[in-house]
Amino acid sequence: MTGPDSGAPQLIQSFANTLNAGSGTDLLLTREQAAGWLRVAGLLPEGAGLTGSEHGALLRLRESLRDVLKDHAEDREDAANAARLTRALADGRLVLTVGPASTVGLASAARASYSSVVAAVAVAVAASAASGAWLGLKSCSAPGCGLAFFDGAASGARHCPAHSAAHAG
Ligand SMILES: [Zn+2]
């Protein structure tokens, strides 16, 4: 695992925002585009690609993540959305590792490169939860937006900065 905990919310946010509902841009639209984005993000090794079913699973993972971030924004507890994200993250096959100095961490027991991608997202979710950032990760509730943003001040914001003025109150 690399980087401080502050990188975890950023990874979740940038992954969720690979789909821009406002402009209709999807950085993960094709298998090739998705693999390219994952390689740039450091989640997929050079030369590794995605199968069709892995690409489908990746899009479901992103959709379930966005749904849960929307629940955060709307201060709603949705068991079905939580269960969908749990299922999508199961591909990561996380295990707990214990170091000689009794340091503990999460790692992936999977050998397939796609499982390592999911594991990286799952570890980021766990790190965000541990640092208290998880509930501050939200998806804008403005119609047609859904942009993921980080409400670090836990202000109860429901909208991304661009929509917070228009939907104040
Ligand atoms: Zn918005």
Reported as a single tens digit per residue, the pLDDT across 90-139 is: 999 999 999 999 899 998 888 889 999 999 999 999 999 999 999 999 99
In a domain, 2, yes or no: no
Report CA(161)–ligand 1 centroid distance (Å). 7
What is the pLDDT, as a whole number, of residue 21?
87
In a domain, 60, yes or no: yes
Report CA(77)–ligand 1 centroid distance (Å). 21
What span, in angstroms and rounded, lies between the C-alpha atoms of 163 and 8? 24
Report CA(130)–ligand 1 centroid distance (Å). 26
What is the pLDDT, as a whole number, of residue 12?
97
Reported as a single tens digit per residue, the pLDDT across 5-58 is: 468 899 999 999 999 988 999 999 999 999 999 999 999 999 999 999 999 999
Task: Return the amino acid letter for 13.
Answer: Q
User: Within 13 Å and on the Cβ side, how many CA atoms surround 125?
Assistant: 24
What span, in angstroms and rounded, lies between the C-alpha atoms of 27 and 122? 20
The CATH number given to whatever domain includes residue 137 is 1.10.3300.10
Report CA(78)–ligand 1 centroid distance (Å). 21
Report CA(149)–ligand 1 centroid distance (Å). 9
What span, in angstroms and rounded, lies between the C-alpha atoms of 102 and 55? 37
Instruction: Give the range of the structural domain holding residue 51, as residue numbers without chain letter.
Output: 7-164
Query: Is pLDDT of 165 > 60?
Result: yes
In a domain, 169, yes or no: no
Number of domains the chain contains = 1
